Amino acid sequence: MSTKKSGILKSNEKFYRTIRIRCPAGYLDSDALGKISELSKKYGNGEVCLTSRLSVEIPYVNVEYADDAKAEIEDAGLVVGGTGPVVRAVFACKGTFCPHGIVDTRKIASEIEEKYGGMKLPVKIKTGVSGCPNNCGKAQFNDIGFIAYSVPEVAGDSCNECGKCVSACKEDAVSLEDSVVSVNYERCISCGDCITACKKENIISKESGVRVYLGGRAGRRLIFGKEYKRPLKEENCIKVAGLVIDYVKENGREGVRLGQLILDDGFEKLEKYLDDNLSF
Ligand code: SF4
Ligand code: SF4
Ligand code: SF4
């Protein structure tokens, strides 16, 4: 019998199901899309829809053929899932090729997806990865949220006074006065745009990494994720995601989202767990 956990969802029409296909970091190659197109015509009404977490769904699959459709999708090498109390599809912004991107969001999301995607837990875990503080991934509304940052520093003596850094800064944090460029760190949000704008390498990144937010959720009960005190290097996101998943496995209660667990047990408990298990 088909269940929600299997990636087959009920619809508001009794005889139809929707089949959800995971897309690692929001990417599928054109062969996979062709196969989904073919199967949506064979089993559904020829349409596909996209979820807010970048998965693809085939709607209007007759309940009698839902398991056959799932089997055929899986035979094509695609993964049906992303529903129920599991590690859900990891949402990544387009930071990998976005001009604002500071980290390889696709790599971070794909690593988490590959290692933990679909893992059963007492409660679902949603992860969001944003490649810069513009935060298109809405990281703080995920159980695990990552936001990349880059702190600028005026370090060179190669300034040609072009003013591109001043115009690039949307926070009005860069000034050019009397031939001197300076950054107001009270206004700066570490987006790195002035660093990218300066082609003379007069502004460089003095520190970059990823900030971590834990226990956020959207939906009917909003919780804003709490920032973990230690920012990470890009390559350590997978480690932290794994530890948070382990924490939920060990301490989680059925159906209780991480944000509520933090409210009940205290953020300090989760922070200590991470501190005790992080070796970097
Ligand atoms: S969060 Fe930043 S890097 Fe990611 S898509 Fe938005 S602007 Fe680009
Ligand atoms: S990093 Fe971003 S916010 Fe900070 S000074 Fe540069 S452009 Fe402005
Ligand atoms: S963008 Fe670079 S070169 Fe141009 S004014 Fe700013 S620091 Fe100077």
Is the domain of 24 the same as that of 161? no
Give the position, in ligand 3's atom list, of the atom nearest the Cα of 203.
7
| Residue 19, domain CATH | 3.30.70.3340
Output the pLDDT for position 1: 40
pLDDT tens digits along 131-173: 999 999 999 999 999 999 999 999 988 999 999 999 999 999 9
Q: Name the nearest CA neighbour of 45 among 65, 62, 67, 25.
A: 62
Give the number of residues written for the chain.
280
Task: Quote the domain boundaries for residue 60.
Answer: 4-80
For 85-118, the three-class secondary structure string (H helix, E strand, C coil) is: CEECCCEECCCCCCCCCCCCHHHHHHHHHHHHCC
User: In the structure, which protein residues have their CB atom closer than 6 angstroms to any atom of ligand 3?
Assistant: 159-165, 176, 181, 197-198, 200, 202-203
Taking the C-alpha atoms of residue 197 and residue 101, their distance in angstroms, rounded to an integer, is 13
CB burial of 53-76 (b: ≥16 within 10 Å; e: otherwise) equals bbbbbbbbbeeeebbebbebbeee
Share of the chain above pLDDT 70, in %: 98
**Is the CB of residue 135 below 6 angstroms from any atom belonging to ligand 1?**
yes
Contact between residue 92 and residue 144 where contact means Cβ atoms under 8 Å apart? no
Substitution site in 132, 135, 147 for ligand 1 pocket (most atoms within 8 Å of beta carbon)? 132
**Is the CB of residue 231 below 6 angstroms from any atom belonging to ligand 1?**
no
Substitution site in 153, 177, 196, 202 for ligand 3 pocket (most atoms within 8 Å of beta carbon)? 202
Boundary-marking domain end, from 26, 59, 80: 80
pLDDT tens digits along 229-280: 999 999 999 999 999 999 999 999 999 999 999 999 999 999 999 999 998 7
Output the pLDDT for position 83: 86
**Higher pLDDT among residues 226 and 96, named by residue:** 226
Q: Quote the mean pLDDT of the chain.
A: 95
Is the domain of 116 the same as that of 57? no
What residue type is 172 in one-letter code? D
pLDDT above 80 for 5: no
Give the chain's domain count.
3
Output the pLDDT for position 27: 93
Output the pLDDT for position 268: 98
Is the domain of 214 the same as that of 191? no
Q: Within 10 A of 22 (CB to CB), how many other CB atoms are there?
A: 22
Helix axes 105-116, 237-251, angle to 10 degrees: 40
Q: Which two tokens stand for residue 11?
A: 């619809």
| Residue 176, domain CATH | 3.30.70.20
Output the pLDDT for position 15: 95
Is the domain of 255 the same as that of 117? yes
Residues 6 or more apart in contact with residue 67 via CB below 8 angstroms:
2, 8
In a domain, 13, yes or no: yes
